[in-house]
C-alpha cells in the first residue's frame, strides 16, 4: 500500500545552482547527495519533513551525468522542471505487481537500486495521465507479511 509522497524529482542542468536556489529561497538543506552511475545522474535529496509512517518527504534534484541518460534526454526535450513523483511503500515488489495487474506498465521487471539504498521502479507516464511515477521502498524497510 502506498503510504506517502516520498519525493518529487526535479531535473536540472546545474545541481549546485539549483541546490543553492532551494536553500536560499526556502531554507531547504541537503540531506544526502550521490552519483547513480546506472541512471546517469548526480542528485541531491532535500528533506522537507518526516512522515507518520517513519519515512520522510524530499525534493530530489537530478543533474544528468551523460546526455544519453533518461534525465538527460528528458531535459533536452522538456527543459528544467518536475520530472516525476515518487510514492513510498513498504513493499515495492508487491505494489508494482498489483499495479501491473491493473494494466499499468511497470518499467522494470525487478526493482533497481535507488537513492540512499532504496529499491525503486517506475510506472509508464502514458498509463498515469502523463506523470512519470516512481514507487520507492526506503532502505531498511521490510515488506509486510501478506
pLDDT in tens, 42-97: 999 999 988 777 788 999 999 999 999 999 999 999 999 999 999 999 999 999 99
The per-residue pLDDT for 141 is 55
Catalytic residue chosen out of the listed positions 39, 63, 83, 84:
84
Q: Which of 122, 84, 120 is nearest to 8 (CA)?
A: 84
pLDDT of 143 strictly over 70: no
Partner residues linked to 127 by β-bridges: none
The per-residue pLDDT for 146 is 38
134 part of the active site: yes
Q: How confident is the model at residue 9 (pLDDT cuts 50, 70, 90)?
A: very high
Catalytic residue chosen out of the listed positions 7, 39, 63, 83:
7
60 part of the active site: yes
Catalytic residue chosen out of the listed positions 39, 60, 63, 83:
60
7 part of the active site: yes
* DSSP-derived 3-state class of residue 8: strand
Q: What is the DSSP letter of 127?
A: G
Q: How confident is the model at residue 24 (pLDDT cuts 50, 70, 90)?
A: very high
Catalytic residue chosen out of the listed positions 39, 63, 83, 134:
134
The per-residue pLDDT for 110 is 95
Q: What does the block give as the cell for 128?
A: 498515469
pLDDT of 145 strictly over 50: no
pLDDT of 138 strictly over 80: yes
Q: Count each helix (H run) and each strand (E run) in the chain, helices first.
A: 3, 8
Q: Which of 77, 75, 59 is nearest to 14 (CA)?
A: 75
pLDDT of 144 strictly over 70: no
Q: Render the burial of 94-105: b for 16+ CB within 10 Å, e for the rest.
A: bbbeebeeeeee
Catalytic residue chosen out of the listed positions 13, 38, 43, 63:
43
* DSSP-derived 3-state class of residue 30: strand
98 part of the active site: no
Express the helix, strand and coil content of the chain in percent, nearest 5 each: 25, 40, 35
pTM: 0.90
Amino acid at each position: 500500500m502506498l503510504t506517502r509522497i516520498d519525493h518529487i524529482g526535479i531535473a536540472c542542468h546545474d545541481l549546485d545552482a539549483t541546490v543553492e536556489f532551494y536553500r536560499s529561497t526556502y531554507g531547504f538543506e541537503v540531506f544526502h547527495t550521490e552519483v547513480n552511475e546506472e541512471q546517469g545522474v548526480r542528485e541531491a535529496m532535500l528533506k522537507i519533513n518526516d512522515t507518520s509512517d517513519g519515512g520522510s518527504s524530499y525534493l530530489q534534484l537530478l543533474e544528468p551525468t551523460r546526455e544519453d541518460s533518461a534525465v538527460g534526454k528528458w531535459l533536452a526535450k522538456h527543459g528544467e522542471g518536475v520530472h516525476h513523483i515518487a510514492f513510498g511503500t513498504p513493499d515495492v515488489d508487491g505494489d508494482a505487481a498489483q499495479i501491473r495487474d491493473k494494466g499499468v506498465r511497470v518499467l522494470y521487471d525487478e526493482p533497481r537500486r535507488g537513492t540512499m539504498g532504496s529499491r525503486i521502479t517506475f510506472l509508464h507516464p502514458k498509463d498515469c495521465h502523463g506523470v512519470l511515477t516512481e514507487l520507492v521502498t526506503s532502505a531498511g524497510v521490510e515488506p509486510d507479511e501478506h
